């Protein structure tokens, strides 16, 4: 399988200034030496809690933020080296689906205008008729039928589920190779999520798209993804086939995450023993220790002395934890 | 189930008047909560679940109004209708008998006051003996799973999960009998969510509290609740013990909802529910789910179904039964 | 997938201009709003009054063929001034001049303010620093004294007055627009437009400025009123073009040509009331715009 995205030691730091005259600075690593590979025609799931850096990685892969270190290859070419013209071509080949169906569409722009924009920018050779045709076709692909009815609507005249479909239509209309879907269903009602997830799967199956699916919800992620990476404080702590990650989680953090997922099974009542140590907020300050050491129930001295290597423990199953050295 | 209920909601209806339209958010709902019950009310956005919960505390404010119905609470002095309480009694009732944790509560702590002060205010306001307050603050924080040292902190120094625990401590401040959690963990990460919910379940055990969970997450209630109410378009469409509801869902909406959520088993396809919930500002003649229901027949459009017991305390509001 | 043929009707539907419809919707909403309606009526009334004055004032305001200091009479509804000019005519024509002055200042200030604010807010970085420091400098200089100094040294024409007031009018608007832009550019649809390949300027015109129109209008209305008052104030001090017929010069002559001594209240009241009515109308209208365009909750 060919890789479409390859990140190499990607690091992004955010500096916050505080105190009198903003002289105290503290640095947080949102991405800390991230190495992931996303294959062609694959949905790559990225899970993590809020603040784990998963959205930052999505933005980095689309070159929407600058990095402190590392490079990201798109079909073997570092996107951070692209010049203006090449960047324009890269924009044509990549797209994003957003979390919030209410904020991702301009309220005063019609659906037709929103969805047709990428075509009009990237395919200036198309006639207005061709554009209209393509918009209608795309809206029907995402289940907005009859599409005619939606062309002239404004976002406020549509439901959240319909808006999210418009967002997907806008992302796929210019036929990109790679799409980042950032929490695309987390703001939708449960009964509407399934259809959106199935549309995303069909983008892969029928249109051969590759995708990075970012979510905090493991159940949803494993439903759509071929492989899953687990992120914790800016680091990838585990990566593998999605079924494997769920059935056989190796990293203590992944185990806790999976244990905490609500499952629709009344026979699995939660007992009243509390799990997973203390809750308090930590940030990654780039120290030379395991990012999970402060919370890990299996923590050893060595965890605080160096970073665990990210290595292949079983076939295609990577983990960064000293327990598997 | 035999004892007289702690809280009994009788035929309650709530309307909102918005832009000249009247939205029937809650429509003739009956509900009982017994001492020691863990009850869940599950529904999607606009189902009326939060509005229903607000009536338990008589919290409906303009532009909403309670159209009809009663909320009977059984306190020390016998049964009283919460909706007809004098303001001074209502204030007592809201912390000492029933209290509530909201989703947004995380951000509703006073930012310029130490945690300790906020707890103290609530306790003294509700007549706790001043000499006991300090000991009680420590006790409540421990109950919520916090170390007592955080009482000197300000809200911004705490994480989301800790703030929500402070809210639990606040809700427990006056030893209520019933605790309502309205999407209390929706904004939190799964690990923290589990920690907080198991803490609430433990409190239920230790303090013989009754708990009501309001949530959109039907998977979640399977793990925590004993009795589950499914709400749709302002009505309870199905009520059953958790086991029955998940193993044998009767209402087509419940069934469709359960089919729309992914599980950890690979390979089970999920499908969404077609269509959108009905416009609650319009008169609905038949069953509110009729136009999305795969099993719809003529009667569903003509008359609304009643919520009835079909055996083993399994209630369903559907003409199929 | 169905291959749908394109009929003319649909092509027209998707390409027809929508802004006019939105403007109509907005106006009908404003018309239903009590204060908005009052503001529209007052300001529209002033404009009509000025137009009548322009085309059909009872006398030439500069013709001095009547007796001086006549109180209101049938021949001169608002009496006459120190050299027998008809005050009603002077006031009518003066209303026109004052409105044009206010309107021009508002347009010029808004143009500069919006350009500076949006560019500083959207592009940020060095551009932002430079532009905002310039704004700071203009904001900290005490406005009226500077006006007086500038007007003293520059040629005393109405045009220079308008230009000076425009240059001093925009900094506050620029600040407001900049901070709004900072919020707007974080909306996800701006990122979506970026990903759709739109350039910065295209995004500004499509995703930023349309959202700012209510706030620009409200600010422009206040700049206009401020402009009228400031011009009148300058004229009152004898600065600017004193041959121009407007509310300010009317006040100037009242105070400098024995208006007080003759107790010629009919001379003083019209410009004063004019300014009050303009301010009131502007306030009502901006209130109406604010309340009809503020974002509503939910979808």
Q: Over 90: is that where the pLDDT of B162 sits?
A: no
Widest distance between CA atoms in chain B: 67
> What's the whole-number average pLDDT of chain A?
89
pLDDT score, position C299: 30
Confidence of residue A167 (pLDDT cuts 50, 70, 90): very high
Measured between alpha carbons, how far is B124 from B108 in angstroms, rounded to an integer? 20
pLDDT score, position C295: 59
Hunting for tokens 């000499």 — which residue is that?
B131
Q: Over 50: is that where the pLDDT of B29 sits?
A: yes
Measured between alpha carbons, how far is B54 from B61 in angstroms, rounded to an integer? 9
Question: Which one of A114, A137, A151 has the shortest CB-CB distance to C1?
Answer: A137
Q: Over 90: is that where the pLDDT of A177 sits?
A: yes
pLDDT score, position C1: 38
Sequential DSSP letters for B29-59: EEEEE-TT-EEEEE--TTSSHHHHHHHHTT-
| Secondary element (H or E) of residue B316 | strand B315-316
- The arithmetic mean of pLDDT across residues A99-122, rounded, is 91
Q: Under an 8 A CB cutoff, do A64 and C191 touch?
A: yes
- The arithmetic mean of pLDDT across residues C4-21, rounded, is 57
Measured between alpha carbons, how far is B138 from A174 in angstroms, rounded to an integer? 60
pLDDT score, position B25: 92
Measured between alpha carbons, how far is C145 from C148 in angstroms, rounded to an integer? 5
Q: Over 70: is that where the pLDDT of A277 sits?
A: no
Q: Is A230 on the interface with B (CB under 8 A)?
A: no
Q: Over 90: is that where the pLDDT of A73 sits?
A: yes
| Secondary element (H or E) of residue C93 | helix C87-123
Q: Is A197 on the interface with B (CB under 8 A)?
A: yes
pLDDT score, position A22: 66
Q: Is A273 on the interface with B (CB under 8 A)?
A: yes
Please name each of the domains of chain C with its CATH number: 82-293 (1.10.3720.10)
Stronger pLDDT, C139 or A270, i.e. the higher one: C139
* ipTM for the complex shown: 0.85
pLDDT score, position C297: 39
Q: Under an 8 A CB cutoff, do A280 and B194 touch?
A: no
- The arithmetic mean of pLDDT across residues A290-317, rounded, is 88
pLDDT score, position B142: 86
Q: Under an 8 A CB cutoff, do B272 and A218 touch?
A: no
pLDDT score, position C168: 86
pLDDT score, position C5: 47
Stronger pLDDT, B298 or A279, i.e. the higher one: B298
Stronger pLDDT, C19 or B133, i.e. the higher one: B133
Q: Is B224 on the interface with A (CB under 8 A)?
A: yes
Both tokens assigned to B278: 């009905």
pLDDT digit string, tens, across residues B274-283: 888 888 888 8
Binding-face residues of B in 36-55 toward A, CB within 8 A: 44-45
Within 8 A by CB and 6+ apart from A162, the residues are: A144, A150
Q: Over 80: is that where the pLDDT of B223 sits?
A: yes
Chain A residues in contact with C210 by the CB 8 A cut-off are: 108
% of chain C residues with pLDDT over 90: 41
Count residue pairs from A and C with Cβ separation < 8 A.
87
Q: Over 80: is that where the pLDDT of B122 sits?
A: yes
Q: Under an 8 A CB cutoff, do C299 and A156 touch?
A: yes
pLDDT digit string, tens, across residues A305-315: 888 989 999 99
Superfamily of segment(s) B7-97+176-316: P-loop containing nucleotide triphosphate hydrolases (3.40.50.300)
Q: Is B262 on the interface with A (CB under 8 A)?
A: yes
Q: Over 80: is that where the pLDDT of A21 sits?
A: no
Q: Over 70: is that where the pLDDT of B127 sits?
A: yes
Q: Under an 8 A CB cutoff, do C3 and A133 touch?
A: yes
Residue of A nearest to C10 (CA): A148
Shortest distance, CA C16 to any CA of chain A (angstroms): 10
- The arithmetic mean of pLDDT across residues C113-135, rounded, is 94
pLDDT score, position A273: 64
Q: CA distances (Å), A103 to each of A155, A161, C187, C298, in order?
A: 10, 13, 6, 11
- The arithmetic mean of pLDDT across residues B117-129, rounded, is 88
- The arithmetic mean of pLDDT across residues C114-123, rounded, is 96
pLDDT score, position C4: 44
CB C35 within 8 A of CB C287: yes
DSSP secondary structure code for residue C197 in this structure: T
Confidence of residue A223 (pLDDT cuts 50, 70, 90): very high
What SS3 string covers B109-147? CCCCCCHHHHHHHHHHHCCCCHHHHHHHHHHHHHHCCCC
Stronger pLDDT, A17 or C273, i.e. the higher one: C273
Q: Over 70: is that where the pLDDT of C11 sits?
A: no
Shortest distance, CA C26 to any CA of chain A (angstroms): 13
Q: Sign of the C-alpha dihedral, residues A109, A115, A118, A124? A: negative
Sequential DSSP letters for B166-228: HHHHHHHTT--SEEEEESTTTTS-HHHHHHHHHHHHHHHHHHT-EEEEEES-HHHHHHH-SEE
- The arithmetic mean of pLDDT across residues B29-57, rounded, is 92
Confidence of residue A296 (pLDDT cuts 50, 70, 90): confident
Stronger pLDDT, A50 or B37, i.e. the higher one: B37
Q: CA distances (Å), C124 to each of A62, B103, C121, C179, C205, in order?
A: 21, 35, 5, 11, 17
Confidence of residue B203 (pLDDT cuts 50, 70, 90): confident
% of chain A residues with pLDDT over 70: 94
A76-85, A294-303, C34-43, C269-278: the lowest-pLDDT one: A294-303
pLDDT score, position B256: 92
pLDDT score, position A68: 93
pLDDT score, position C65: 75
| Secondary element (H or E) of residue C140 | helix C125-140
Chain B residues in contact with A273 by the CB 8 A cut-off are: 198
pLDDT score, position A50: 82
Q: Is B218 on the interface with A (CB under 8 A)?
A: yes
Q: Over 80: is that where the pLDDT of B266 sits?
A: no
Phi/psi for B119 (5° steps) reads -65, -40
Confidence of residue C298 (pLDDT cuts 50, 70, 90): very low
- The arithmetic mean of pLDDT across residues A249-262, rounded, is 90
Q: Is B159 on the interface with A (CB under 8 A)?
A: yes
pLDDT score, position B81: 92
Both tokens assigned to A168: 């997907």
Q: Under an 8 A CB cutoff, do C195 and A99 touch?
A: no
Within 8 A by CB and 6+ apart from A21, the residues are: none
pLDDT score, position B184: 86
Q: Over 70: is that where the pLDDT of A90 sits?
A: yes
A221-235, A278-292, B60-74, B235-249: the lowest-pLDDT one: A278-292
CA-closest candidate to residue A189, choices A163, A223, A152, A224: A163
Q: Over 90: is that where the pLDDT of B232 sits?
A: yes
Q: Sign of the C-alpha dihedral, residues C198, C202, C204, C207? A: negative
Residue of A nearest to C22 (CA): A108
pLDDT digit string, tens, across residues C82-114: 888 888 888 899 999 999 999 999 999 999 999
Coil vs helix vs strand at B21: strand
pLDDT digit string, tens, across residues C231-249: 888 888 888 888 888 888 8
Q: Is B115 on the interface with A (CB under 8 A)?
A: no
Measured between alpha carbons, how far is A251 from C241 in angstroms, rounded to an integer? 82
User: Which residue in B204, B231, B262 has the most chain A C-beta atoms within 10 A of its own C-beta, making it the best mutation to test that interface?
Assistant: B262
Both tokens assigned to C82: 């120190």
Q: CA distances (Å), C107 to each of A62, B117, B249, C286, in order?
A: 40, 54, 66, 16
pLDDT score, position C15: 56
Chain A residues in contact with C189 by the CB 8 A cut-off are: 103-106, 109, 114
- The arithmetic mean of pLDDT across residues A141-151, rounded, is 89
Q: Is A276 on the interface with B (CB under 8 A)?
A: yes
The pairing of beta strand A311-314 with beta strand A69-74:
unpaired
pLDDT score, position C10: 58
Q: Sign of the C-alpha dihedral, residues B280, B286, B288, B291? A: negative
Q: Under an 8 A CB cutoff, do A94 and C195 touch?
A: yes
Shortest distance, CA A110 to any CA of chain C (angstroms): 9
Share of chain C residues as helix, strand and coil, in percent rounded to the nearest 5: 75, 0, 25
Q: Under an 8 A CB cutoff, do B159 and A260 touch?
A: no
DSSP secondary structure code for residue C287 in this structure: H
- The arithmetic mean of pLDDT across residues B81-98, rounded, is 90
């Amino acid at each position: 399988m060919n890789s479409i995205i390859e990140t190499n030691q990607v690091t992004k730091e955010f500096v916050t200034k505080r105190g009198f005259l903003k002289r105290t600075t503290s640095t947080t690593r949102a991405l800390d030496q991230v190495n992931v590979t996303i294959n062609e025609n694959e949905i790559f799931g990225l899970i993590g809690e809020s603040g784990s850096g998963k959205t930052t990685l999505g933005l980095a892969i689309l070159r929407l933020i600058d990095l402190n270190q590392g490079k990201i290859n798109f079909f073997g070419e570092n996107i951070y080296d692209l010049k203006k013209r090449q960047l324009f071509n890269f924009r044509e080949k990549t797209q994003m689906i957003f979390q919030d169906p209410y904020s991702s569409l301009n309220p005063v722009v019609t659906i037709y205008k929103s969805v047709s924009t990428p075509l009009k920018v990237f395919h200036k050779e198309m006639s207005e008729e061709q554009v209209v045709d393509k918009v209608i076709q795309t809206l029907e692909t995402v289940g907005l039928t009859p599409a005619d009815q939606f062309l002239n609507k404004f976002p406020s005249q549509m439901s959240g589920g319909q808006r999210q479909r418009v967002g997907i239509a806008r992302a796929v209309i210019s036929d990109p190779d790679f799409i980042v879907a950032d929490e695309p269903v987390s703001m939708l009602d449960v009964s509407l999520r399934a259809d959106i997830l199935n549309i995303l799967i069909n983008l892969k199956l029928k249109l051969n798209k590759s995708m990075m699916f970012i979510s905090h919800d493991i159940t949803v992620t494993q439903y759509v993804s071929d492989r899953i990476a687990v992120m914790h404080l800016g680091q990838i702590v585990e990566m593998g086939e999605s079924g494997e990650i769920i059935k056989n989680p190796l990293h203590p953090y992944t185990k806790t995450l999976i244990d905490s997922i609500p499952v629709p099974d009344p026979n699995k009542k939660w007992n009243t023993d509390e799990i997973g140590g203390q809750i308090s907020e930590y940030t990654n300050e780039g120290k030379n220790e395991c990012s999970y050491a402060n919370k890990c129930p299996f923590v050893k001295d060595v965890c605080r002395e160096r970073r665990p290597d990210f290595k292949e423990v079983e076939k295609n199953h990577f983990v960064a934890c000293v327990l598997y050295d | 189930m035999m004892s007289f209920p702690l809280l009994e909601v009788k035929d309650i209806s709530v309307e909102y008047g918005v832009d000249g339209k009247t939205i029937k958010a809650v429509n003739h709902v009956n509900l009982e909560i017994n001492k020691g019950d863990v009850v869940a009310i599950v529904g999607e956005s606009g189902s009326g679940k939060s509005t229903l919960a607000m009536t338990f505390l008589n919290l409906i404010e303009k532009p909403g109004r309670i159209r009809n119905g009663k909320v009977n609470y059984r306190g020390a002095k016998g049964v009283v209708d919460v909706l007809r309480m004098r303001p001074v009694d209502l204030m007592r009732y809201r912390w000492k008998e029933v209290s509530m944790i909201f989703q947004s509560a995380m951000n509703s702590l006073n930012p310029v006051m130490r945690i300790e002060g906020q707890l103290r205010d609530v306790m003294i306001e509700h007549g706790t003996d001043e000499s006991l307050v300090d000991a009680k603050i420590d006790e409540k924080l421990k109950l919520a799973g916090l170390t007592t040292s955080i009482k000197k902190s300000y809200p911004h120094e705490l994480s989301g999960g800790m703030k929500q625990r402070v809210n639990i401590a606040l809700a427990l401040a006056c030893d209520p009998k019933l605790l309502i959690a309205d999407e209390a963990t929706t904004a939190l990460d799964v690990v923290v969510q589990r920690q907080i919910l198991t803490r609430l379940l433990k409190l239920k055990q230790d303090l013989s509290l009754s708990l009501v969970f309001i949530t959109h997450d039907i998977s979640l209630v399977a793990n925590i609740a004993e009795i589950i109410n499914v709400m749709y378009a302002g009505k309870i469409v199905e009520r059953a013990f958790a086991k029955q509801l998940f193993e044998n869902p009767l209402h087509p909406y419940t069934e469709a909802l359960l089919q729309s959520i992914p599980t950890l088993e690979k390979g089970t396809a999920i499908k969404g529910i077609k269509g959108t919930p009905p416009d609650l500002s319009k008169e609905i003649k038949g069953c509110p789910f009729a136009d999305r229901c795969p099993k719809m027949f003529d009667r569903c459009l003509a008359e609304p179904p009643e919520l009835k017991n079909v055996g083993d305390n399994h209630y369903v509001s559907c003409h199929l039964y | 997938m169905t291959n749908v043929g394109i009929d003319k009707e649909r092509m027209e539907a998707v390409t027809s201009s929508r802004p006019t419809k939105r403007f109509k919707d907005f106006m009908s909403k404003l018309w239903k709003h009590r204060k908005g309606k009052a503001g529209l009526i007052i300001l529209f009334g002033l404009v009509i009054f000025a137009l009548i004055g322009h085309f059909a004032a009872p006398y030439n305001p500069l013709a001095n063929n009547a007796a001086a200091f006549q109180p209101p009479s049938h021949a001169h509804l608002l009496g006459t001034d120190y050299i027998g000019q008809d005050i009603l005519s002077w006031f009518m024509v003066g209303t026109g001049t004052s409105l044009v002055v206010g309107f021009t200042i508002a347009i010029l200030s808004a143009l500069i303010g919006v350009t500076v604010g949006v560019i500083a807010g959207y592009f940020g970085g060095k551009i932002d620093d430079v532009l905002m420091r310039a704004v700071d400098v203009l904001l900290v200089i005490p406005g009226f004294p500077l006006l007086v100094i500038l007007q003293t040294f520059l040629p005393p024409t109405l045009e220079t007055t308008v230009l000076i007031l425009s240059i001093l009018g925009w900094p506050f608007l620029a600040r407001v627009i900049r901070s709004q832009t900072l919020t707007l550019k974080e909306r996800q649809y701006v990122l979506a437009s970026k990903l759709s390949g739109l350039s910065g300027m295209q995004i500004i015109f499509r995703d930023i400025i349309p959202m700012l129109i209510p706030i620009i209008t409200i600010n422009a209305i206040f700049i206009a009123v401020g402009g009228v008052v400031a011009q009148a104030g300058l004229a009152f001090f004898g600065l600017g073009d004193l041959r121009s017929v407007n509310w300010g010069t009317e006040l100037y002559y009242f105070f400098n040509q024995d208006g007080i001594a003759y107790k010629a209240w009919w001379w003083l009241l019209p410009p004063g009331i004019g300014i009050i009515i303009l301010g009131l109308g502007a306030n009502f209208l901006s209130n109406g715009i604010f309340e009809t365009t503020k974002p509503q909750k939910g979808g």
